[in-house]
Every structure is written in C-alpha cells, then in structure tokens.
C-alpha cells in the first residue's frame, strides 16, 4: 500500500509540473482526453487505453520498475491544455489522472 501511495504522489507531482510547463508544440490531434479518462477502468491493458485515447503516447513515459506511467496530452500551447496519465502495474491500469485548466480528477485502484 505504501508503494501505491508513493506512485500516486509521483503521478500527481508529475502532472503538476506538466501544467506549470505547458506551452508551445502540437497535440496528438484529439479534441479532448476527458472521455478517455472516464472510460479507463481498473485492469485495462495499455492497448485498450490507447484505443480510447486514439493516438500514441505523446508526452512522456516514466518507468518505475513494476509500475509504468504513460501520459498523453492535447492542446499544448492553447488556453486549455489537457493531459491524461495512466498508471500501469504488471501491465494493467492501476490509476489515472486527468488535468486541464478547468478540471483535475484522479482515481487509483
């Protein structure tokens, strides 16, 4: 449980850095990541989440050993950038974080 909390803190910290550093560049072409956040559920594979998002990871991948964090973003350099970070443990979704200028949501299983 302690490791899970630490991974969650790392995930939230990484997303804070992302929002603080938004600007310039292009996005992956999707209109919004919110529907993908809502549809992502515990135990999904990377391929399933990628299918929901509609494009490959375009921001960052962070390998923490047994856990890997994948981040997608859209709207970089606009007034409303968005990101979706999904935490995978043993190849399955174990948490998710969504952020935009108007909304921040997270869920960990």
Mean of per-residue pLDDT scores for the chain? 83
Q: What's the token pair of residue 26?
A: 């292009």
**CA 25 to chain centroid:** 18
Q: What's the token pair of residue 40?
A: 């992502």
Percentages (nearest 5) of helix, strand, coil residues in the chain? 30, 30, 40
**Candidate CATH numbers 3.50.50.60, 3.30.1450.10, 3.40.1360.10, 3.20.20.70; the one for domain 2-108:** 3.30.1450.10
Q: In this predicted model, what pLDDT tens digit does every residue of 33-82 receive, in sequence order? A: 999 999 999 999 999 999 999 999 999 899 998 999 999 999 999 999 99
Q: Where are the domains of the chain?
A: 2-108
Mean pLDDT of the 80-95 span? 96
Question: 0.85 cut: is pTM over it?
Answer: no
């Amino acid at each position: 449980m302690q490791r899970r909390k630490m991974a969650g803190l790392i995930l939230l910290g990484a997303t804070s850095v992302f929002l603080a550093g938004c600007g310039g560049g292009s996005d992956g072409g999707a209109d919004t990541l919110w529907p993908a956040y809502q549809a992502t559920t515990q135990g999904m594979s990377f391929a399933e989440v990628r299918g929901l998002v509609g494009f490959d990871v375009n921001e960052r991948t962070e390998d923490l050993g047994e856990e890997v964090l994948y981040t997608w973003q859209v709207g970089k350099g606009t007034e409303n950038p968005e990101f979706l970070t999904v935490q995978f443990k043993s190849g399955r979704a174990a948490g998710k974080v969504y952020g935009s200028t108007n909304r921040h949501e997270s869920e960990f299983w």
